[in-house]
Every structure is written in structure tokens, then in C-alpha cells.
Amino acid sequence: MWGTVPLQMIGALLMLFVGLPLFGGDYAPSSPDQAWNPPRLGEYEQELASLQTHSDASRVAVDSEKIYDLPALIDLAERSHPETRGAWERARQAAAAVGLAQSTYYPYLAASAAAGYERAFVPFPELQLGPAPTAVSIKGGGTLTTEAAAEGGALNLKWLLFDFGERKAAVTEAREKLMMANVSFNAIHQKIVFDVTQRFYEFDAARQKVATAESSLSAAQTVAEAAQLRLTNGLATKPEALQAEQQEAQAAFDLAAARGGLGDARVALGESLGIMPTTKLQVAAAPEKLPAENLDDSLAALMDRALSQRPDLVARLADVRASRAEIKKVRAEYYPKVSLGAKAGISELDVRAGSSPFFGGNERVYGVGLAIDLPIFDGFARTKKLSIAESELNAAESELAGARDQVVREVWKAYTDFKTAFYQQDSAEKLLSASQGAFDASLEAYRQGLGTYVDVVNAQRNLAVARGVMVDTRAAIFTSRTALALSIGGLAQPVSANPIPR
């Protein structure tokens, strides 16, 4: 019986270890040709549902009775958009990382305490000599049992005094990364301001296109009524009246499409604000006054400003500086480190042998000393780290140079788009005025029997196109002006900086 127990235990242990992976249910999809239902998928779906409820509750409240103009929409987005909160947390983490790097300048102080008991024995054999003169054998003896009890506490100090600039380089690197996080936070705000501005004007343009489509439908109905009246009076043919009905149906279809576009624009605006599409939001109309065509600065001056204040360029410059600090930190690892060590505390030790009483006492213990740590060989780890750091610096400098070239191109394009939109504004106004006059004249002539139906339809179609061009041109002026400000880095500027002229 006793011989079988170990075998049974071994078998049970083997079954346990073999069966453990099965208990976890960690399976991969069985085949690549169909969807997979992983174990515990329902738990994740339930948690996501609860997170969605919590997310809705934590959003900034939107006043359904208030009519939000563009500044109010921007303020709402900056307070409610998840990207601003995420960028803010990353900036806080970078600030904490600076404090973490600076903590290496301070001494490390730790308290320690220990207590223990040990029982041991020492054998005392009885030796016997002979029979040869040098022969020794053990014929018996005994043991001596000892017991010891110890306890104590101490304060331990370790302070790095000198490291040839490694800590300074680490702090510099952390501060540069903090700058990267801070300007990235500002860049997020600029992006949100631009997105909200662009979506606002797109929404306003979509709203105006609905009004334009309604006007086109009204004009098509007027033409259809005129064609029907001429048909009744025997001045038009049946095909003319049917074509007029067709144009009216087409105008109604275009109106439905414009309203669908307005719904899409509303969703896009809500997305830029960081609110749910179901949120009831009243949006004010865009201002009638256009921004000034003549900028205060020339194109060259705008480029200079962009190259000096764009948040992404500041971040890339900080990345270059951080890479330089990393090189200094790695090079400092080639030199020795000088540390101060100290200890102070109290210790007690009591010992007894056999049945004797305990003997011992307690005393203060302390010590101090200097230590020098100089790595001699590390498998070329420092050499590889230095090579990586130098390569990262070269990459960061190349990325900064490429980013500067990209900024110049973006400013040039934004400046050209803004000027082009203004030039198109005059043409769009003239086109609308001429198209409106042509439609009124052709419609009146058709009513009087002096014009043809083809002339009226063409004038009606041209008027609808001219109205759409006018709406798009006005929206392009506002959005291109905002894009120019974004390309310069002039959106959502800090209070201490000089904002771009509005």
C-alpha cells in the first residue's frame, strides 16, 4: 500500500499540470475562414456598455435652448473633446517624469528592521589513537546545542555625489519631453479649433444649400405653372409641360439630397465638438462680413512666423534636444560614480549553549564610507547605446528639416487658397447676379410667349449652379483663412504669445 501512494500522487500531479492550460480556455480561432467567438466575449461587451453610459454622463452639458456661435462651439469642444483630456494627461505624465529624474539628486534613505531565531549544534567527537602512531579514529562523543536570538533596526543612507553629468542629462531629456508634451497639448487645441471652424462653415454652407435647393424648387414650380398655363391657352405643347414637371421633380430630389447633406454636416460638426450625434444643438448662422483680404504680413513674414511658432516644429526641436541629452547621458556611463553610504541603528544578540542561560546584549551600530563604481566591461552595451542615441539624434534632425520644408509648403498652399477664394468671390457675385437676371428675363419672356422653354430651363439650371457656387465660395473664404492661421500656428495661441491678426 505504501509503495503505491507515491505513484498515485505523481499521477495526480501530472494530471493537474496537464489539465491547468485547459481550465483557462485560451483558444485561438479554429480556422481562418469564419468569424470567431472568443470565450468571455460577453464580459467585454457588458463592460463596454457600462462605459458608454458613464461616458455620456461625464460629457459637458449642452444647453438645448442656447444658440451657439463659433466661439461658443470652440469653447464647448475644448472642454468636452476626449483628445484634449488625453493630451492634458500626457503632459501631466511628462511633468511627473521631470520630477522623477530630479529625484536622483536627493539621498536615498531607508529604514530596516529584522528579527530571527536560530538553533544549531556543534559535534564534539571522542578520538582514539593507534594502533599505528599516526592513526586516529572516532570511538564516540557528543554534541553541543546552541541557540541564538537577534533583532535590530537601522537607517540606511545612500547618496550619489558625483556622476559626470548623467543625472543632469537625464533631467534635461525629461524637460525636453515635457516641452514636447506641452506643445503637443497646444497642437491638439489648434487642431480642434480648426476642425470645429471647418465643420461649422461646412454646416452653414450645407444649410444655405438647403435654402438654395428650396429656391430652385420654387423656381421649378413657377416654371411648371407657366408651362401648364401656356398649355391651357394653347401656346405650349404637352412635352413642354411634362418636361417642366420633370424639372420640378428633379428639384425636389436635389432638395432631399441637400437635406441629407445637412444631416451629414450636423453629425460631422458634433464629432468635431466631441458630443454625441443625438445631442440637440442650435447653431448660429455664419457672419455675413467676410474676413479682410489684405493680410498684415507678407507671405515671407507668415512663413517666418510659422517656422518659429508651429507647435509641431517646437516638438521636433525638443525631440532633437532630448536626443542630444540622451547622448550626454550615455557618455557619462563611461565614467565612475562616487556615492556616500551611511548606516546607523541598534542591534541585539542573545546566545546560549546547551541548558545555559542566554548571554548577550544590545549596542548601537553605525558606519559611513565612500564608494566608487567604475564599470570596466559590459559586453559593449554602452557602445551600442551610444550608437543608438547618435542615430536617434540624426533621425530627429532629419525629421525637423523635413518638417520645416513641409511647413513652408503648407503656408504657401494655405496663402494661395485664401487669395484664390477671394478672387473667386467677385466672380461668384457677378455670376449669381447675371444668372438671376437671365432667369427672370427668360421666365417673363416665356410667360409672354416671346421665349422658349429651353431658354427658361437653361436659365433655371444656371441660376441653381450660381447659387451653389456662391455658397461654396463664401465657405471657402472662411475655411481657407482658418487653414492659413493653422498653418502658421496661430490658432489657440497661449495668452503670452502674439496671435495671428484676425
Q: How far is 394 from 45, CA to CA, in rounded Å? A: 46
Instruction: State the average pLDDT for the chain.
Output: 86
Burial of 318 (0-12, 13-18, 19+ CB in 10 A): buried
Nearest residue to 94 via CA among 307, 309, 318, 326: 318
Share of the chain above pLDDT 90, in %: 44
The answer as to CATH 1.20.1600.10 being correct for domain 67-101+168-328+380-488 is yes
98-148 pLDDT, tens digit per residue, is 999 999 999 999 999 999 999 998 888 888 887 888 888 888 888 889 999
Reported confidence tier of residue 287, pLDDT bands at 50, 70, 90: confident
- Residue 267: per-residue pLDDT: 93
Exposed/middle/buried for residue 126 (C-beta within 10 Å: 0-12, 13-18, 19+)? exposed
Q: Binning pLDDT at 50, 70 and 90, where does residue 169 land?
A: very high
pLDDT band of 200, cuts 50, 70, 90: very high
Tell me the three cell numbers of residue 329: 547621458
According to the model, what pLDDT value does residue 330 have?
94
Question: Whole-model pTM?
Answer: 0.75
Q: How confident is the model at residue 18 (pLDDT cuts 50, 70, 90)?
A: low
499 vs 489: CA distance, rounded Å: 9
Break the chain into its structural domains and give their ranges. Answer: 67-101+168-328+380-488, 107-162+337-373
* Nearest-angstrom CA–CA distance, 417 and 397: 30
Q: Where are the beta strands (DSSP E) in 54-179?
A: 67-68, 108-129, 136-162
d(CA 207, CA 266): 10
The per-residue pLDDT for 54 is 47
